[in-house]
Amino acid sequence: MTNVFRNDLSGDLPLHLPVLLEESVSALVWNPDGVYIDCTFGRGGHSRAVLERLGHAGRLIGIDRDPEAVAEGELLAARDSRFSIHHGRFSSIGEIARQAGVAGRLSGILLDLGVSSPQLDSPGRGFSFGADGPLDMRMDPERGLSAADWLAKADESEIASVLYELGEERFSRRIARAIVAARAETPILTTSQLADLVARSVRTREPGKHPATRTFQALRIRVNEELDEVRLCLDQVCDLLAVAGHLVVISFHSLEDRIVKRFIRDESRGPQLPKGLPVQAVETRGRLCALGKQVRSSDEEVAANPRARSAVMRIAERLP
């Protein structure tokens, strides 16, 4: 059952429920004196649970691109010398590990993908249409184009492509056409503007789901280059993990999980070389081994935290 976590250092923050907390930390921490990286610190729910399992010699490095999360991590680092926090994308994991002198020596890497509850629940961040706010959606508000900036510049075909490929939105062309027509009259600057526009464009939708859900998901993924970040990070993990080190990834939609699943599958197979080449078996051996099947949230956790419903966790171990 998910542990409820409210950051005691920042009492004004929304309630945050780390997804698959016990399952992920149990899978990650096998060596209490090892070095671990939490690539998605968020509000520190997983990191705090990891620190509880580490010994005095253990070490945990956190990474997050959100300045608010980094500020929270700095408070934790001030309390626990085993922890440090870095501001940046998790695709910079290799550089961070090398600077820390732990490349190739990591006992585990954790990725909790997607957007955090505090980000979703803060109208000022623009991730959700639940309350009106600026159409931003950047995980790091100090860098890159906001969703409003991107929508103002992208052409109709590009908008349609993003909505279809990243949001799996079957009405992508209709919505893109409506966006281009609307922005010709007035800039689309707020979450309510976009949500209302999509709702007027889409007359049918799955029961219980807002018509703009897929559009907001697609724009968020595009603005933050989330799928590229996952690929770039995964490409580095085998070189960073020590033998027997664990990779734990929690995904929240099929696009992320597909990337993770294929990565673990391909790294388990090893290089696919033409038959008949004079190579030794060690040259064709995989670098990872999947540990068990995918893990999903229990009914109890979903009841306590509906956002856990779509979570999928995959675990892999670094082979010699």
Q: Which helix (H) or strand (E) holds 78?
A: helix 67-79
pLDDT in tens, 211-250: 999 999 999 999 999 999 999 999 999 999 999 999 999 9
**Of residues 88, 28, 18, 16, the one with CA closest to residue 60:** 28
User: For residue 14, what pLDDT band results from cuts at 50, 70 and 90?
Assistant: very low
Average pLDDT for residues 279-286, to the nearest whole number?
Answer: 62
**Of residues 308, 263, 259, 247, the one with CA closest to residue 39:** 247
Q: Is 87 annotated as a binding residue?
A: no
Q: Is 46 annotated as a binding residue?
A: yes
User: For residue 13, what pLDDT band results from cuts at 50, 70 and 90?
Assistant: very low
The domains of the chain are located at 21-118+226-318, 126-224
The domain defined by 126-224 folds into DNA polymerase; domain 1 (1.10.150)
Q: Is 88 annotated as a binding residue?
A: no
Q: Average model confidence (pLDDT) for the chain?
A: 91
pLDDT in tens, 159-194: 999 999 999 999 999 999 999 999 999 999 999 999
The domain defined by 21-118+226-318 folds into Rossmann fold (3.40.50)
Sign of the dihedral through C-alpha 219, 212, 18, 251: negative
- Beta carbons of 200 and 210 less than 8 angstroms apart: no
Q: Is 112 annotated as a binding residue?
A: yes
Q: Is 119 annotated as a binding residue?
A: yes
Q: Is 16 annotated as a binding residue?
A: no
Q: How many CB atoms lie within 10 A of CB 91?
A: 20
* 157 has a pLDDT exceeding 70: yes
Q: Is 193 annotated as a binding residue?
A: no
The per-residue pLDDT for 205 is: 75
